[in-house]
Structure 1
Amino acid sequence: MLLKFAVQEFLDDREYKNLSKNTIETYRIFLKDFQSFCVSQSIINLHEITSGTIKSYLLMCQKEQGNNATTRNTKLRTLKTFFNYLEQNEVIATGKNPTKKMAYAKEEIKIEVFTDAHISQMLGYLRRVKKRERTFHAYRNYVMIIFLLGSGCRLGETVNLRWNDVDMVNGVITVWGKKREVSSIPITEKLIKELAEYRLYCEKYFGKVGEYVFVTDENKQLSPNSVKCMFKKLKKVFDFKDVRLSCHTFRHTFAHRMCMNGCDVFTLQRMLRHTEIEMTSRYISMWGTALKEQNDKYNPLNHLEV
């Protein structure tokens, strides 16, 4: 079977299984990139692909595309999903899966967060732009940064947030997370006030409140790519050398501040909506203060004369 037909069959299957558009698009981008590499190596049939082919592809991603270990592992995970699908549907014979025994690259775990100085610079800049130019974009971006810092929401959860999902009376928002799982998380009074004022601004600016919280200047849903472009523009303004300006860095910053203020691992897991506690534990092990506090409280030396 031709690789390009297998890729299309896999994408059709993901669409049939009702995966999110963003997930399907990610699969499409990664697999088309892999297909292009195979064509450059004169490989067009599935049976010609070996584990060596995939290793060569990942090395190319590292050397030519500048992909770090995390990005390469994400691509390998996609390829494993793809070839597992082909094996399960008997497109390739059992035992002929080239990704079966391939191990992931060792990742350097480094979680970047914003400092108070970073946050003050970004918010101050957007306030000045709004005051000077009176643009909708500046105020929307200002509120979005506050929302990301105060909620820990992912990019997809942020752009998909509807006003109907925001309960300002009870201080709760309902978000659609990964795998379309629905979760409700509390928000603070400060964030409620910011969202209420922003909603009133949108109502006056557009003449009516739209369906989505964060919208374009045409009152339509903001796309994930538009948010990424927004951060790219901010990056040019500030040129932060020590931290990546992205939606996920705000999520890391949220987790960091929660940990530093003594949040326990189970509460943080629920706030971040992690399905596995191992990821949450990574934050706690780096920044958690609870271990020191509990040790100071319960250490056996406390009541011994030494």
Structure 2
Amino acid sequence: MDIFSKYNYEEICVDLGINIEDLLCLIEKKTIPKQIERAEYTIVHVTEKFKKLIKQQQVNGRKSLQTVRYYINFINRFEQFVYKVNPEMSIYSLNESLFDDFLLTCQPRQETVLSPGTINTYIGILRRLLSFAHYEGYLDKDLRYRFERHSTKLLPRYYQDSHLKAMLEMTKRKTHAYLWSTILWFLLGTGCRVSELINVRVKDFDIETNLLYTVGKGRKERYIPIYPHIKEIVLEYLYLTGVKEWNKGLTGYLFARDHGVKRERKLSVRSVQYQVHDIITKLGFDRRFNVHSFRHTFAVNCLRAGMKIEYLSQILGHDNPATTYTYIQLLPIDLKSEIMNKFPFPLEKLVHQIYGTGVYEHGQHSDGDRPIYH
């Protein structure tokens, strides 16, 4: 006979640190299977099950295709590494030491080490894997504590005006120069992520309300003001690519590989990244610059113009203003400029408060080298 209960057994299992099978055994007064049986599950067995879950989350709309591809790519590489070490390695063997050995096998092509941000992303995936393993009963306890994210400080990566001028000049030498020039201006004037840029529809660029509609991480919707200069550039680009008049019925992609009003073939993230990387490389810029640097540049420019951090956070799609602060760190040379523009602060008043005397007179001394104030 089925028994219905008001209790949420899944939440109870999480609180107790056990899985649903063990709880049912306790309720039915059965003996819990020996833990050694669970230890027989291999890393590869669990990762294969985990990949199926991730793919299903993409089907259900809980994860984007780009995120799923990133997860699967990482897990596949990690599986290949485990196969070489020991294909029968238990899921209990998944720890930081094994992860460190894996990192040594995946150095990027032109760098000596992986960035802290990339390592933290990998750690996040492994933590989700262990959480999944615990929930499904492949582990008898939660082992996520083995992987702690490292504290990282995002370095300033925004373009100077001279950078932007050189990059825009470089787009003139490219095939479909109008396309790549418009994309650079669009990124600079909206702060969009590249994954958002490629999914913008013509109708989303609403020239009647002067608002750009976009969907960001976690399928969060937001609106971004359209600056007049960006509006002019995009409308000219649309005219050149077959959209003679904008209207709300145009559902094709704003930045498309095909021209006309249908515009069904959107650009890929990789193609935009490649074109920007090619420009950066040819100009000899610091290799830390990339497409995402336009988002940093947008944030810094908004801050310099006096925009409140709360409004900037909303435009960027950040739930927490603390996240926005990581985007607006100034480069040392700009920090110096900003500070010097605010100088001189009333140093003489500060001296008076400290010494209780007058302003220091340069070159006047008494009692040896002691300065005189009046």
The structure, 1 or 2, with the larger RCO (C-alpha pairs under 8 Å, 6+ apart) is 1
TM-score range, shorter chain: 0.7 to 0.9
What is residue 255 of structure 2 aligned with on the other side?
A: 214
- Structure 1, residues 195-249: CA drift from partner, whole Å, max 9, x if none? 11111111169xxx77001112565100111111212321332121x35342100
1:94 aligns with 2:135: no
CA apart distance, 1:48: 5.0
Seen in structure 2, the aligned counterparts of structure 1 residues 212 and 46 have a Cα distance that, compared at 3 Å, is farther
Deviation, structure 1 residue 284: 4.9
Answering whether residue 305 of structure 2 is matched by residue 261 of structure 1, we say yes
User: Unpaired segments of 5 or more residues in structure 1?
Assistant: none
Distance in structure 2 (CA, Å) of the matches to 1:200 and 1:110: 39
CA distance in 2: counterparts of 1:111 and 1:230, whole angstroms = 22
Alignment of 1:129-168 (within 5 A): 129=173, 135=175, 137-168=176-207
- Give the secondary-structure state (helix, strand or coil) at the position aligned to 2:242: helix
Decide whether aligned partners of structure 1 residues 283 and 126 sit closer, same or farther in structure 2, where only a CA change above 3 A counts: closer
Structure 2, gaps ≥5 residues long? 1-40, 245-249, 359-374
Matched-pair contact (CA < 8 Å) for 1:165–1:174 = yes
Give the alignment's TM-score, normalised by structure 2: 0.69
Which of these residues, 226, 244, 251, is aligned with residue 295 of structure 2? Answer: 251
User: What displacement does 1:45 show?
Assistant: 4.6
Matched residues in 2 for 1:121 and 1:60: separation? Answer: 37
Partner of 2:224: helix, strand, or coil?
strand
Q: 1:72 aligns with which of 119, 125, 138?
A: 119
- Cα distance in 2, alignment partners of residues 278 and 148 from structure 1: 22
- Letter in structure 1 aligned against 2:125: T
Q: How many residues align?
A: 289
Q: CA deviation at 1:56?
A: 2.6
Aligned to 2:52: 9
The match for 2:212 is 173
Q: Equivalent residue for 1:233?
A: 278
Q: Which has the larger radius of gyration?
A: 2
Identity %: 24
Determine the C-alpha separation between the residues in 2 that align with 1:200 and 1:120: 24
User: What's the counterpart of residue 109 of structure 1?
Assistant: 154
**1:11 is matched by which residue type in structure 2?**
I
Is the 8 Å Cα contact of residues 194 and 291 (structure 2) preserved in structure 1? yes
SS of equivalent residue, structure 1 residue 100: helix
| Aligned mate of 2:321, from 268, 277, 286 | 277
Q: Distance in 2 between matches of 1:116 and 1:72?
A: 32
Amino acid at match of 1:105: H
Q: Secondary structure at the match of 1:185?
A: strand
Question: CA 1:269–1:186 in structure 2 vs 1: closer, same or farther (change >3 Å)?
Answer: same
CA contact (8 A) 1:168 1:192 kept: yes
Matched, 1:57 2:137: no
Q: What SS class does the counterpart of residue 79 from structure 1 fall into?
A: helix
Change (3 A) 1:277 1:46: farther
From the superposition, tell whether residues 45 and 15 of structure 1 become closer, same or farther in structure 2 (CA, over 3 Å).
Answer: farther
Q: Matches of 2:92 and 2:329 in 1, distance apart?
A: 45
RMSD: 3.1
Aligned residue number for residue 191 of structure 1: 230
Alignment partner, residue 30 of structure 1: 74
TM-score computed with the length of structure 1 as normaliser: 0.83
One-letter code aligned to 2:139: I
Aligned counterpart, 1:118: 163
8 Å contact from structure 1 (residues 214, 221) kept in 2: yes
Mean Cα deviation higher: 190-199 or 278-287: 278-287
Q: Structure 1 pair 284/155, CA: closer, same or farther in 2 (3 Å)?
A: closer
Q: CA deviation at 1:47?
A: 2.6
Contact 2:159 2:293 in 1 (8 A): yes
